Amino acid sequence: MTDTAAPAPAKTLQNTSFTVLFAIGFCHLLNDMMQSLLPAIYPNIKTALHLSFAQIGLITLAFQCTASLLQPAVGFYADKRPMPYSLPAGMVSTLLGLVLLSVAGSYPLVLASALMIGLGSAVFHPESSRVARMASGGRYGLAQSVFQVGGNTGQAISPLTAAVLVATYGQRSIVWYAGLALLGIFILFQVGSWYKHHGLARIRGHKAIKHPDLSRDKVAWSLAILLALIFSKFFYLASIGSYYTFYLIHTFGVTVQGAQVHLFFFLGAVAVGTLLGGPLGDHIGRKYVIWFSILGMLPFTLMLPYANLFWTGVLSVIIGLIMASAFPAIVVYAQELLPGRVGTISGLFFGLSFGLGGIGAAVLGALADATSITFVYKVCAFLPAIGLLAVFLPNFKSSPA
């Protein structure tokens, strides 16, 4: 029996629409760059509004809950009735949220802006993931990686731009990002036209072929394992994304700008890992990539809380590189478990990743208030051990849908 991915035939590879893939990947960069402004400016907001770590966590929770709760619904609806022009519409919500965030002078307004930005994400991710599969030409892992690495790159760039713009010119400089949102709206309108006139024909050509060797219970059990792995990955990612800068400032006394640079290197490693994970899954099998990615970072997470500043930077890069390779493989693996449910699976897994990140940020923020940031990292170091569950994932042949 072969694993979930086998090399696609040459004829299929010629049908890969790289123009659309790069366009949707670039818009993912813009989208996640703008969304990553929230955690990137947490130190500024915390000082200006006199917030606790728990309140910082609730900002993340507000953003993530909007995105998390709506994404599966958007994906499920789009499986029934595709929405080609929902992509630029979602970016409009992000634009409005950024404008509100730039002038928010109170905690409730910050929460409201987070909700609006989350709404834009709820529409963008499941539909753009569907577009990536439409344009893949059978190279599903590669397409998912190109799409996702755009978001990872945007997340990596955001702390640097925030360090330069927000730290220098203040909260109101966030409104300058509105120009990026307008660019995204323009590009996504063109993608929506391709979706309507070409992508839908590709989706109609796919057949929802079920795997005869997988019972309904086996599929459900496999999805449960994948969700547990998502929990491990994104709960740990929440500890880095929301609190890494605070950890560096508290433990090593670095400046805010210095901490943002360290966060950039971590998020840059996440981008590289994401780019590698999908194609590796296409060639060696997604199950093996999932296994290595989640469990492989365990030794490094266990060392991180006890490292000096130099080795903290090195270990965080290694962790980001290994950890990120799992998500493209997990999403495509789940799509192949339930052929014909691309939107539902994309919405579920992207939404769940956001929701777990939000819950993780809130829980870990409260834990940090009660104990310390260092204690949080010691506890989170054991989360990758959940990757042992990957051994129970089944092997099966890829489906064409």
For residue 186, the model assigns a pLDDT of 95
Nearest to 88 by CA among 18, 170, 192: 192
Q: What burial letters (b/e) apply to 86-104, b meaning 16+ CB within 10 Å?
A: bbbbbbbbbbbbbbbbbeb
Q: Give me the chain's average pLDDT, please.
A: 82
Question: What three-state secondary structure class fits 147?
Answer: helix
pLDDT at 398 over 70: no
pLDDT tens track for 28-59: 999 988 887 777 777 777 888 888 888 887 88
Confidence of residue 183 (pLDDT cuts 50, 70, 90): very high
pLDDT at 338 over 60: yes
CA distance 344 to 340: 9
pLDDT at 397 over 70: no
Both ends of the chain: CA-CA distance in Å? 20
Q: Which two tokens stand for residue 147?
A: 């799409």
More confident residue, 302 or 102: 302
Mean pLDDT in residue range 174-191 = 90
User: Which of the residue ranges 9-13, 91-95, 158-162, 386-390 has the most confident prediction, judged by mean pLDDT?
Assistant: 91-95
For residue 307, the model assigns a pLDDT of 93
Residues contacting 374, CB < 8 A, separation 6+: 247, 250, 251, 305
Confidence of residue 24 (pLDDT cuts 50, 70, 90): very high
Q: In a 10 Å sphere around its CB, with 0-12 CB exposed, 13-18 middle and 19+ buried, how is residue 213 labelled? A: exposed
For residue 55, the model assigns a pLDDT of 87
For residue 26, the model assigns a pLDDT of 94
Confidence of residue 300 (pLDDT cuts 50, 70, 90): very high
Question: What three-state secondary structure class fits 52?
Answer: coil
More confident residue, 65 or 245: 245
pLDDT tens track for 286-296: 888 888 887 78
What residue has token string 């609806």? 77
Mean pLDDT in residue range 156-169 = 74
| CB 95 within 8 Å of CB 181 | yes
Task: Give percent of the chain above pLDDT 70.
Answer: 90
Instruction: Say which range, 91-100, 103-112, 336-345, 374-383, has the weakest mean pLDDT.
Output: 336-345
For residue 116, the model assigns a pLDDT of 92
Q: Which two tokens stand for residue 323?
A: 């950890």
pLDDT at 12 over 70: no
Question: Per-domain residue ranges for the chain?
Answer: 10-205+216-392
For residue 188, the model assigns a pLDDT of 95
For residue 316, the model assigns a pLDDT of 92
Mean pLDDT in residue range 329-356 = 80
CA distance 319 to 317: 5
Residues contacting 119, CB < 8 A, separation 6+: 66, 67, 70, 90, 93, 94, 97
pTM greater than 0.75: no
Mean pLDDT in residue range 306-321 = 93
For residue 11, the model assigns a pLDDT of 42
Mean pLDDT in residue range 10-25 = 73
For residue 14, the model assigns a pLDDT of 44
pLDDT at 13 over 50: no
pLDDT at 241 over 60: yes
pLDDT at 160 over 80: no
For residue 47, the model assigns a pLDDT of 82
Confidence of residue 245 (pLDDT cuts 50, 70, 90): confident
For residue 130, the model assigns a pLDDT of 86
More confident residue, 111 or 264: 111
Nearest to 297 by CA among 275, 324, 332, 267: 324
Q: Which amino acid is at 103?
A: V
pLDDT at 232 over 90: no
CATH class of the domain whose range is 10-205+216-392: mainly alpha
pLDDT tens track for 204-220: 655 445 555 678 888 88
Confidence of residue 302 (pLDDT cuts 50, 70, 90): very high
